[in-house]
């Protein structure tokens, strides 16, 4: 009973903090326009932001009511301040645990001939690195040098009518997910440097590239000279279609280059997030790419990461900006992942952009 009562107290306090923040925000906007009032309003706004950030950093998603949570997210969009030292700490944590710059992609440098590859998450499945497989790997990682500013573009419906395309395209490096269409250029842009693709899409949409490949070729040309990162060794059923994709790209002389996700990197990243308290059956592609970007980029902005069916104003939106197909809930924990992004945003270690640009 005492524990249940303490949670109720926390909920009440959280609600009071949010109400206070918004009351003070409204007060600061209606103050008279003389200098002292403007200065006092700015100081109050900074104090409100500090309280709000503290609330997000010291709470959990489960104890925040929906209206309190949505109001907090909306307010935090106006409170974001870049904190390079916090980003450097985040970088160091990922470098220590996982080292994406070296081990994200399977290369001839980090993979040995006759090495035994352990599939993820099918821990009882293995594959030897043969000479033919080894020859498919690049010599070195393409991510050895740090990148200044990265945009990670999720596929959330919140991108619809966001007009973020030009802002996304100004990033030095753009990550995208699962072959999302680029037919909404004003909202999502066109610049693409890496696509992390689930091979199941190739199985279902293109019949494993066993039939006509015209539609696949048309899609791939949208992505220019990007890297296509395939988790070929996550499941055994993904291996052959990943190889076939690589051969297709080479045979047709398409500009994109297929690389394989290192299952060893994925295991380390999986362990990192579980130790951090995140519960999931599988890491989502979005969380993998956010983790990679946080390590190899000096500055990171996220777009289209919003797992809810309503936007910040309570208006219905589709799950994706291009359809309303939802992922299987038993695989990913998208709301909990989003809350981690929100906490990173509150810390100033990366920017979580929601709404219009």
> What's this model's pTM, rounded to 2 decimal places?
0.86
Per DSSP (E only), the strands in 154-209 are 173-177, 194-196
What per-residue confidence (pLDDT) applies to 330? Answer: 61
User: How many beta carbons lie within 10 A of that of residue 138, not counting itself?
Assistant: 15
| 132 membership: H or E segment, kind and range | helix 131-136
The tokens for 242 are 């990943």
d(CA 159, CA 140): 35
What per-residue confidence (pLDDT) applies to 122? Answer: 58
- Calculate ∠ Cα 133-180-201, nearest 5°: 50
Pairing of strands 297-303, 126-128: unpaired
What per-residue confidence (pLDDT) applies to 66? Answer: 86
What per-residue confidence (pLDDT) applies to 162? Answer: 96
What per-residue confidence (pLDDT) applies to 326? Answer: 78
- Write out pLDDT tens, residues 269-283: 999 999 999 888 888
Q: How many residues does the chain have?
A: 357
Q: What is the CA radius of gyration of the chain?
A: 22
In 3D, which of 313, 287, 303 has the Cα closest to residue 353? Answer: 303
- Write out pLDDT tens, residues 168-218: 999 999 999 999 999 899 999 999 999 999 999 999 889 888 888 899 999
In 3D, which of 67, 31, 30, 74 has the Cα closest to residue 52? Answer: 74
The tokens for 258 are 């297929």
d(CA 302, CA 290): 8
How far is residue 119 from each of residues 89, 122, 234, measured CA to CA in Å? 31, 5, 5
CB 167 within 8 A of CB 190: no
* C-alpha torsion sign, points 277, 339, 147, 181: positive
In 3D, which of 226, 231, 320 has the Cα closest to residue 269? Answer: 231
| 153 membership: H or E segment, kind and range | strand 147-153
Per DSSP (E only), the strands in 191-276 are 194-196, 227-230, 257-260
Residues of the chain with pLDDT under 50: 1-13, 16-18, 20-44
d(CA 66, CA 72): 10
What per-residue confidence (pLDDT) applies to 6? Answer: 47
């Amino acid at each position: 009973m005492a524990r249940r009562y303490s949670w109720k107290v926390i909920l009440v306090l959280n609600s009071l903090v949010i109400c206070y923040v918004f009351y003070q925000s409204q007060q600061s906007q209606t103050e008279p326009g003389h200098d002292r009032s403007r200065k006092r309003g700015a100081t109050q706004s900074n104090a409100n932001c500090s309280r709000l950030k503290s609330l997000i950093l010291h709470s959990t998603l489960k104890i925040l009511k929906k209206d309190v949570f949505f109001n907090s997210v909306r307010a935090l969009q106006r409170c974001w301040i870049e904190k390079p030292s916090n980003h450097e700490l985040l970088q160091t944590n990922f470098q220590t645990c996982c080292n994406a710059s070296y081990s994200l992609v399977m290369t001839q440098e980090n993979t040995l001939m006759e090495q035994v590859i352990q599939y993820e998450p099918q821990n009882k499945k293995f594959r030897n690195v043969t000479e033919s497989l080894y020859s498919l790997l690049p010599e070195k990682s393409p991510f050895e040098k740090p990148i200044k500013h990265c945009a990670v573009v999720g596929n959330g419906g919140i991108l619809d009518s966001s007009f973020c395309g030009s802002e996304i395209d100004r990033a030095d490096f753009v990550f995208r997910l699962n072959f999302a269409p680029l037919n909404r250029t004003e909202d999502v842009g066109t610049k693409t440097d890496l696509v992390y693709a689930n091979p199941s899409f190739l199985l279902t949409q293109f019949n494993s590239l066993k039939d006509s490949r015209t539609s696949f070729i048309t899609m791939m040309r949208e992505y220019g000279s990007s890297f296509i990162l395939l988790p070929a060794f996550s499941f055994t059923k993904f291996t052959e279609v990943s190889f076939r994709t690589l051969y297709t790209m080479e045979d047709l002389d398409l500009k994109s280059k297929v690389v394989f996700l290192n299952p060893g990197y994925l295991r380390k990243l999986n362990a990192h997030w579980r130790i951090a308290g995140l519960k999931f059956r599988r890491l989502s592609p979005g969380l993998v790419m956010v983790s990679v970007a946080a390590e190899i980029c000096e500055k990171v902005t996220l777009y289209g990461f919003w797992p809810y069916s309503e936007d910040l104003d309570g208006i219905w939106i589709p799950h994706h900006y291009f359809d309303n197909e939802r992922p299987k809930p038993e695989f990913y924990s998208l709301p909990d992942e989003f809350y981690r992004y929100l906490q990173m945003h509150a810390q100033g270690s990366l920017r979580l952009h929601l709404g219009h640009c």
